[in-house]
Amino acid sequence: MKKILFLFIFAYSTLNFAQKLPNGFVYLEDVDASIQKELRYLSNNNFIGKKIDGYKNNCVIITEQAAHQLKKVQTELLKKGLSLKVFDAYRPQEAVNHFVKWAKVLSDTLMKQEYYPKVPKSQLFNQGYIASKSGHTRGSTVDLTIIDVKTGKELDMGSPYDFFGVQSHPLHSNLSKEQKDNRMLLRKVMLENNFKPYENEWWHFTLRNEPFRNTYFNFSIE
């Protein structure tokens, strides 16, 4: 009896937890659990080198409209033996504030060689790599790549996720044919499903006609 009661309380609390998202937001896995994820800002594997404020759980939160469009993308990719892998989607404003605070500490260059070897940290604001506002905070922007379902390996896109440099521009010319083809595959399938690309980052897409165009949210990812 105690075990049954415990399971009931656990299930109820989980349901309650899921309902705390603002109206219009969903957990991506509730729409399509086959989409893979690797939340870089929940780990030390990012351009700062430590977990980012506001990331408390390994879950992808996104607007409902964007989630259903990603499901369509995933359906197309699975037919080819491929899958989406999400690095980031909704991002709390406190995470953006963390980026801004870090960028102002010029002596903190722990991850420079891996993420911004040719960009002086003093130029991250001027060159647009760090800003006080982010489209991610509106909930309909997503950072992602494509993986091979059988191997789990990411397709070679020619530069790592979150690399600060011209190599990350989607149409960068100094790439192999395979790298260009992989970028174009991602770009094509996202464009066909109502996402628009960002011309400085091959991994970055925003839903067209996003529902919260002028609202920047600040609830934690948990």
Instruction: Give, for all 222 residues of the chain, the pLDDT tens digit.
Output: 555 544 444 444 444 445 489 999 999 999 999 999 999 999 999 999 999 999 999 999 999 999 999 999 999 999 999 999 999 999 999 999 999 999 999 999 999 999 999 999 999 999 999 999 999 999 999 999 999 999 999 999 999 999 999 999 999 999 999 999 999 999 999 999 999 999 999 999 999 999 999 999 999 999
Q: What is the DSSP string of 68-118?
A: HHHHHHHHHHHTTTEEEEEEE-S--HHHHHHHHHHHT-TT--TTHHHH-TT
Calpha distance 131→55 (Å, rounded): 19
Q: What is the DSSP string of 41-70?
A: GGSS-SSSSSPPTTB-SS--EEEHHHHHHH
For the question of residue 201 being annotated catalytic, the response is yes
What are the extents of the domains in the chain?
A: 24-207
Active-site entry in 64, 94, 201, 210: 201
Name the CATH code of domain 24-207 (choices 3.50.50.60, 3.30.2010.10, 3.30.1380.10, 3.40.640.10).
3.30.1380.10
Query: How long is the chain?
Result: 222
In this structure, which amino acid lies at residue 141? T
Residue 163 near residue 185 (C-beta atoms within 8 A): no
pTM recorded for the entire structure: 0.91
In this structure, which amino acid lies at residue 44? N
